[in-house]
Chain A
Amino acid sequence: MESNHIVTPGELVESNAANILPGKGVYKKDGKIFAKVLGIPRKAGRVVSITPLRGKYLPKKGDLVIGRVVDITLNGWRVDINSPYSSLLPLKEFPAMVRRGDDLSKYLSIDDYIASIVANVSSQNIVDLTMKDAKCKKLDQGLVFRINPLKVSRVIGTGGSMISLIKQKTNCKIILGANGVVWIQGLPEQQLKAMQAVKLVERLAHVQGLTDKIKSFLES
Chain B
Amino acid sequence: MAYARKDRGLLEPRPITARVGVIENADGSAFFKIGRTAAYAAVYGPRDLYPRALQNPRRAVLRTHYNMMPFSSVGERVRQGPKRRSIEISLVTEKALLPVLELEAYPNTAIDVFIELLQADAGSRAAGICAASMALAHAGIEMKDLVAAIAVGKVGGELVVDLEYEEEAFEGEVADIPIAMIPSTGEISLLQMDGPISKQELLKAISLAKPVLERIVKIQREALKDYYKSV
A–B direct contact (CB < 8 Å): yes
Residues on A facing B (Cβ under 8 Å)? 1, 3-4, 6, 8-11, 25, 27, 34, 36-39, 52-56, 84-86, 124-125, 203
Known contacts A25-B142, A36-B102, A124-B57: does B48 contact A8 (CB below 8 Å)? no
Q: Would B141 and A124 count as touching, CB distance under 8 A?
A: no
Our pick among B100, B109, B139, B221 for the contact of A11 (Cβ within 8 Å) is B221
Q: Would A34 and B184 count as touching, CB distance under 8 A?
A: yes
Known contacts A9-B144, A36-B144, A55-B139: does B228 contact A85 (CB below 8 Å)? no
Number of chain B residues whose Cβ lies closer than 8 Å to a Cβ of chain A: 36
Q: Would B45 and A52 count as touching, CB distance under 8 A?
A: no
Write out the residue numbers on chain A whose beta carbons fall within 8 Å of the beta carbon of B108: 85, 124-125
7 residue pairs, one from A and one from B, having the closest CB atoms: A55-B140, A10-B145, A84-B46, A3-B229, A54-B140, A84-B109, A3-B225
Number of A-B contacts (CB under 8 A): 84
Distance in angstroms between the alpha carbons of A27 and B224 in the assembled complex: 20
Write out the residue numbers on chain A whose beta carbons fall within 8 Å of the beta carbon of B140: 37-39, 52-56
Of chain B, the residue at the smallest CB distance from A70 is B48
Please give the distance in Å from B213's CB to the nearest CB on chain A: 13
Our pick among B27, B142, B184, B225 for the contact of A37 (Cβ within 8 Å) is B142
Distance in angstroms between the alpha carbons of A53 and B28 in the assembled complex: 12
| Interface bits B209-231 vs A (CB < 8 Å: 1, else 0) | 00000000100110011101101
Q: Would B225 and A8 count as touching, CB distance under 8 A?
A: yes
Q: Is B107 an interface residue (CB 8 A)?
A: yes
Interface hub of A27, A52, A55 (most chain B Cβ within 10 A): A55
| Interface bits B92-126 vs A (CB < 8 Å: 1, else 0) | 00000000101000111100000000000000000
